[in-house]
Amino acid sequence: MDHSRPDGHVTDSMSRGGSAGVPADQATVRRSNLALVLRHVSACGPCTRSAVAAATGLNKATVTSLVSELQARGLVKETGPQHAGSVGRPGVALVLDGSRVGALGMEVNVDYIAAIATDLAGRVIVDRRIGFDAMGSGPERSLDELARMAEMIVDDLDRLGVTPAGITVAVPGLIDTTGTVVVAPNLGWRGVAVAERLSHANIAGHIPITVDNDANLAALAEYTSGVAAGTSDLVYLTGEVGVGGGVISGGRLLGGADGFAGEVGHVMVDASGELCRCGRVGCWETKVGLAALVRMATPDRAYGMGPQIVRDPEERLAEIEQRRAEGDPRVDVAVAEVGRWLGIGTAMLVNLFNPRVIVLGGYFARLADLLIPAAQQTLACLGMSSAVERCRFAASDLGFGAASRGAAGVVVERALYDPTSVKILTPSAIGMIEGTPMA
């Protein structure tokens, strides 16, 4: 998987050097070796220092030094003795330390702000979502709210003894490499420096902040821990007010030249269709986005109608399901129409990317039992048969937290590939580092 692209958005310098007092070239070697040892312990632990040395080809004294630094950064810890074989003294085993360093993933979307904090093993520590009118509030107030939530969660983590290694924010739009939102049509944002703005928030310790597209991050979450985990060719679709796509192809997230790939919601599917928030006409999301479903199923509750009460998407879905249970015929008609258009758009994606699984996220997942039959039928008619036959729809079980989950995963990946991006928590544990280059 391409880990370099999400990492490219770090605002806080990652080039501070591996260890205090170590010349730059040696720091680079040491940083690389720290990552090698950490990833081995993460993948193969519990394992002894000797086993790490044997597996990595590093000598044992070097491994001992590297492990001391990883312990000081709160990334590995010792556990009970482990017998390396039938003979010899048992060694103390090393495991990933899940208790002291965490990852914070956040998402700002049209009608909510969400956050998930995990430990380094991906276990969820905090899972929060609030209804918030990001579209109506504008970028300033939205980012104030995002910063406020980040500060609260970082404080909560601090009370639990967990230091976040970083924060990654998911935004439904095009994001450049500085963490600036170039354009987010459904938020009405253009040129909003999200990472820069959050770097000025009162978040303890100037935690590195990166920003990425929500669908890309959700696709990464699905690839690593979702219903289609490990499927090297999958397409994830965000079922929100906006519809985005994250494409995993050959086990790598497809980014494109500028990282803007996957804007499937703004592919034109109906030349005589409705005006889209992006300014064009007949985009796919005007047919299948949550706003389209709400408009057809519960027109009195359409976005932009009546007093602006912020409604969490789950509330809107509960209302749609309730009206369906009451026998309102508009709901089934609306769902069938959305399902049909879902199939039309998916046929293009299947022809383009030949995925094994189309993972339906957001509201698509909640209504998957109703949407998939109609979508599958249309897909079977419009897709290239040989590609369609081996492709299935799957409903995400990560809910509206998929992008936040993926965002936290990016922070974990960065820590595993550059342990020096994680602060030293107990400097006394690495007394050997100052002025003593040990690669």
Interface residues with Zn ion (CB under 5 A)?
266, 276, 278, 280, 283
What is the Cβ-side half-sphere exposure of residue 393, based on CA atoms within 13 angstroms?
A: 25
278 or 358: CB nearest Zn ion: 278
- Least separation in angstroms between residue 280's CB and Zn ion is 5
What tokens does 370 get? 């109703």
Distance CA 403, CA 405 (A): 5
- Least separation in angstroms between residue 286's CB and Zn ion is 7
5 or 280: CB nearest Zn ion: 280
- Least separation in angstroms between residue 278's CB and Zn ion is 3
- Least separation in angstroms between residue 320's CB and Zn ion is 23
209 or 278: CB nearest Zn ion: 278
Distance CA 378, CA 339 (A): 8
Residue of 245, 258, 219 lying closest to 352 (CA atoms)? 245
Question: CA angle 395-301-116, nearest 5°?
Answer: 40
205 or 279: CB nearest Zn ion: 279
- Least separation in angstroms between residue 288's CB and Zn ion is 12
269 or 387: CB nearest Zn ion: 269
134 or 278: CB nearest Zn ion: 278
- Least separation in angstroms between residue 376's CB and Zn ion is 25
